[in-house]
Structure formats: C-alpha cells, structure tokens
C-alpha cells in the first residue's frame, strides 16, 4: 500500500509547498502595508512548508508513472491538501475563526464556490482579502488543468468530446503535456491581466481590481466588501459580465483562438449553447423586471444580465438581492444554478454539454419511436458521439441528483428548513456560492449553519468540483482492492 501511496503523497507535497510559497508572497505584501496578519502568514507558511517538505522528502522516488487508480486518488487528495493548507492563515488569523469555519472558507475558495462564513469584509486586513482571492485564482487554474489533462484520461468530465491537437491524450508524451500546461497558464494569466486592467480603467482601486479580476476569471465570486458587486456602477458590471463569460468558455477553445485568431475557432456548439441560454434567460428576466416597473429598461437589462450570468457561470457575485424580485425570479435563479458553464472552463455546475447531449439523445429516442428501423447518429460539434459518453452523462446526472437528495436529507436532519437544505446543497454541488432563501441567499451567508452542516457542505463542494465520480470511486471497496 505504501508503494501505491508514495507517488501520490510526493506530488501532493509539492502542491503544499506551492501553497507555502504563496503565503510567503502574501506575507511580503502584508509587511509592506504594516498589516497585522504578517506574522500569521509567516507562521502558516512555515507549517505548510514543513508538512510539504516532509511529504516530498519522505516519499521521493527516482522515477515513477502514475496509473489510473493513483490519478483518481491524486486528483481528490490534492484538492483536499490544498484546502487544508489554504485554511491555515484563516485559522491562525486574529479573527478567531474556528477550524470548521477556516476549512469551509478555504474549501469554498479552492473549489471556486464562493460561499462564505465571513461578514464585515470591508473591515478585514487586506492580506486576508488577497489570500481569499488567490485561493480562488489557484482553484480556477487547477480546475481547467484538471479538466483538460487528467479527467479525459480517467474518462470523467466530458472533455473527451473536446479534444484538440494540444489536449489529445492519445499521445501522452511529457513534452505535449508540458506544452499544454504552459499554454493554459499563459492564457489564464493573460485573461486575468486583461480583466484587472479593465476594472482599473473603469474606476476600481488597484487593490480591488486585482482581487476582483482573480475571482471573476476563476468564476469564484469572492469580493472585498459585503455588498459584493453592488457598490459598483453599470460599466464595471458589464466588464464583469464579459469576463465571467470568458471564464465559463472552454479554455482549449481560447487557446486555439490565441494561436490562430479566427471566427471559425469560436464555432463551438457548447460555447454557442451557453451564450444562447444566457441571452434568452437574461432577456426574459429583463422583460419581467420592466413589466413590474422595478427598474428602467437599461438598468433592468444590466441587473438581470449580471446576476443571471453570475449564477449560470457559478461565479456567485451579486449586485442586489435578486430574491426580492418575486417568486418567478427565485424559481428562475434556482433552476439556472444547475446549468453551469462549459466543460474545460473554470465554471462548475452540471455543464452545458450534458444538457445538450440529453436533448440530442431525447430527440434520437423520439425519432426511433416514429421510425423503429431507422438508424440515427447523434453528432456533437460535427462528430459522432460515442455511446459511452452519453451513458457517462446519464450516470453523472443520476448520481448528481441522488447526491443532492441525500445531502438535502442530512441537512434537514440537522435542523435546517427545506429551502435552506435544498439550496445550500445545490449551490455546494454546483459551486455557485449563494443559494436562495433568507439564510444562504445573496443577502446572507453560511455562518449560522451548524458545524456538521458546514463539514457536509465542504465535502459537497469538493464532490461538485471533482465531477462527483472522481471522488466517489474512492469510497468503493473495488478501488482499494485494485
């Protein structure tokens, strides 16, 4: 067993060391600003450095190749270890956060969920605000790296539908993987820089622009103020809409566009589907807001589009308490919470392509009812879809709603009301952030939930970010028997 675990622990140790180095960077920032959390970040970096170093040197190996079972374990354990390391500065901080709250906040950050137990963000030290943003930015980078490099090999996540020349696992040579990782990093950094400069030019302070750029492109949603994006004008909201949508697009498509700028590259069925859903739902809600005379036409369009894009892309920003818009709006926001962005993006949710495949499969089944002897080939992006991909989408959907039901029941057992139980579970599994209702809605937070509920939702956030099956397989006896 030790031989099986050694390379997994070795790689996780390097990830913890990376987290330690990021803490040192924030400690330097805190020292320059005479921030009271400077020593806290140095202490946290030391703890993480010792732990990561022990894992690396204790399990070092001249050379090893990871098999599929080890990749499953590595994918899950790496997110757990990064979350625990990310919780250290929050736990040791002067805010006297409990271990439960510190871990919940870190898991929410790393998984780019955006749910929070903190209040009074505008009064927090700048170093802690920056650390929360960094957690989400690192999580967003890890999401797309995992989606295009690891999950296709494990036959999880749907990225097998979207292979490009740079992401095809049929040639698993190290230079090809390194080239893909480099292009992902450069593209992600470039989009983040463009977002930051746009925010800054539109009137945000440099500090706010940096933080919000990291949490916008990662579709994470952490803000530097309890009002989230509600304190900014329409210009900044439209910039956020633009970059939330970019973050929700497949990064393999963005890389292909950077390498060969052409509108043909953007003709991606998944991306066009996402934009179509956003346009249709935003215009529908805008019409309702105008009819109810809640806003002037342009303000209605801005508020409706911003908040819907935030929920659909699973970012979780809010510019107002949209639950006050009436029952129709509450139901609409709850339903679009499940959609999510594109596979291979930083977004969570069930992903657009699964809804598209379900529709294509349903259409094919209806045609077979009319023409029992007919042969109908399901195509996606101009390619035939293999049966195992459709079966994988069906299995994921079944597991998703089964998990949703089980965790909802467990939260209800802990004393939460039905609306809070359902919406908290849904927002955790889809990595959206705010739910619906007075407790976990956009005007509330998760601080008042029982300790057991926070641990359960932390687990749900990890499940959702890792596409359920990646982590669920670890709980089967077959996995450990080999």
- Reported as a pLDDT band with limits 50, 70 and 90, residue 364 is confident
Residue 21: inside a domain: no
Q: Lowest mean pLDDT: which of 16-20, 41-45, 299-303, 353-357? A: 353-357
Mean pLDDT score, 174-178: 57
Distance CA 305, CA 318 (A): 11
pLDDT of residue 257: 85
Residue 374: inside a domain: yes
Residue 289: inside a domain: no
> What burial letters (b/e) apply to 277-286, b meaning 16+ CB within 10 Å?
bbeebbeebb
Whole-structure pTM value: 0.92
- Reported as a pLDDT band with limits 50, 70 and 90, residue 49 is very high
pLDDT of residue 168: 37
- Reported as a pLDDT band with limits 50, 70 and 90, residue 142 is confident
Residue 147: inside a domain: no
- Reported as a pLDDT band with limits 50, 70 and 90, residue 157 is low
Residue 175: inside a domain: no
Asked if residues 112 and 220 have their Cβ atoms less than 8 Å apart, the reply is yes
Distance CA 70, CA 63 (A): 15
Mean pLDDT of the chain: 89
* pLDDT higher than threshold 60 for residue 170: no
The tokens for 259 are 């390498």
Q: For residue 384, which of 357, 411, 405 has the smallest C-alpha distance?
A: 357
- Reported as a pLDDT band with limits 50, 70 and 90, residue 164 is very low
Residue 475: inside a domain: yes
- Reported as a pLDDT band with limits 50, 70 and 90, residue 233 is very high
Residue 141: inside a domain: no
Q: Which helix (H) or strand (E) element contains residue 380?
A: strand 379-380
Distance CA 338, CA 279 (A): 17
Mean pLDDT score, 140-146: 84
pLDDT tens digits along 381-417: 778 888 778 888 888 899 999 999 999 999 999 999 9
- Reported as a pLDDT band with limits 50, 70 and 90, residue 172 is very low
Tell me the CA end-to-end span of the chain in Å, nearest whole number.
10
pLDDT of residue 174: 45
Helix (H, G, I), strand (E, B) or coil at 115: coil
Mean pLDDT score, 16-25: 96
- What domain count does the chain have? 1
Q: How many residues does the chain have?
A: 482
pLDDT of residue 48: 96
> pLDDT above 90 covers what percent of the chain?
62
pLDDT tens digits along 429-477: 999 989 888 889 888 889 999 999 999 999 999 999 988 888 888 888 8
- Reported as a pLDDT band with limits 50, 70 and 90, residue 161 is low
Domain hosting 428: range is: 363-481
Instruction: Label the pairing between strands 383-384 and 379-380.
Output: antiparallel
pLDDT of residue 298: 95
Mean pLDDT score, 336-345: 91
Residue 160: inside a domain: no
Asked if residues 204 and 298 have their Cβ atoms less than 8 Å apart, the reply is no
């Amino acid at each position: 067993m030790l031989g099986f675990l050694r390379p997994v622990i070795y790689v996780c140790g390097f990830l913890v060391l990376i987290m330690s180095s990021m803490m040192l960077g924030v400690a330097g920032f805190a020292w320059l600003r005479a921030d009271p959390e400077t020593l806290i970040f140095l202490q946290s970096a030391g703890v993480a450095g010792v732990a990561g170093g022990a894992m690396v040197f204790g399990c070092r190996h001249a050379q090893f190749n990871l098999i599929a079972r080890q990749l499953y374990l590595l994918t899950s354990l790496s997110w757990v270890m990064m979350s625990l390391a990310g919780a250290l500065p929050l736990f040791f901080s002067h805010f006297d956060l409990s271990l439960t709250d510190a871990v919940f906040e870190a898991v929410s950050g790393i998984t780019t969920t955006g749910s929070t137990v903190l209040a009074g963000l505008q009064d927090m030290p700048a170093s802690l605000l920056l650390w929360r943003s960094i957690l989400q930015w690192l999580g967003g980078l890890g999401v797309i790296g995992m989606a295009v490099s690891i999950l296709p090999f494990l036959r999880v996540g749907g990225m097998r539908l979207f292979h490009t020349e740079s992401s095809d696992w049929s040639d698993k040579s190290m230079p090809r993987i390194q080239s893909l990782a480099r292009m992902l990093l450069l593209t992600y950094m470039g989009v983040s820089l463009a977002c930051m400069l746009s925010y800054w030019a539109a009137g945000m302070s440099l500090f706010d622009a940096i933080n919000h750029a990291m949490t916008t492109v990662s579709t994470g949603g952490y803000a530097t103020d309890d009002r989230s994006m509600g304190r900014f004008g329409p210009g900044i909201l439209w910039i956020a809409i633009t970059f939330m949508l970019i973050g929700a697009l497949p990064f393999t498509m963005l890389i292909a566009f950077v390498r060969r700028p052409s509108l043909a590259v953007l003709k991606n069925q998944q991306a066009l589907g996402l934009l179509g859903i956003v346009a249709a739902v935003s215009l529908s809600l805008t019409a309702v807001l105008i009819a109810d005379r809640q806003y002037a036409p342009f303000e209605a369009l801005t508020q409706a589009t911003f908040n819907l894009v935030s929920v659909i892309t699973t970012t979780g920003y809010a510019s107002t308490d949209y639950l006050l818009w009436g029952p129709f709006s509450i139901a609409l926001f709850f339903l679009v919470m499940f959609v999510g962005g594109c596979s291979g993006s930083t977004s969570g949710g069930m992903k657009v392509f699964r809804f598209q495949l379900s529709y294509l499969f349903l259409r094919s089944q209806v045609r077979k009812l009319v023409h029992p002897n007919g042969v109908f080939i399901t195509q996606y992006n101009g390619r035939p879809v293999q049966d195992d991909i459709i079966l994988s989408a069906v299995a994921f959907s079944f597991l998703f709603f089964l998990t949703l039901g089980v965790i909802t029941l467990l939260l209800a057992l802990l004393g939460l009301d039905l609306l809070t139980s359902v919406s908290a579970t849904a927002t955790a599994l889809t990595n959206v952030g705010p739910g619906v209702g007075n407790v976990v809605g956009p005007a509330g937070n998760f601080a008042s939930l029982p300790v057991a509920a926070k641990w359960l939702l932390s687990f749900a956030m990890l499940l959702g970010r890792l596409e359920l099956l990646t982590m669920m397989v670890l709980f089967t006896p077959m996995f450990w028997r080999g």
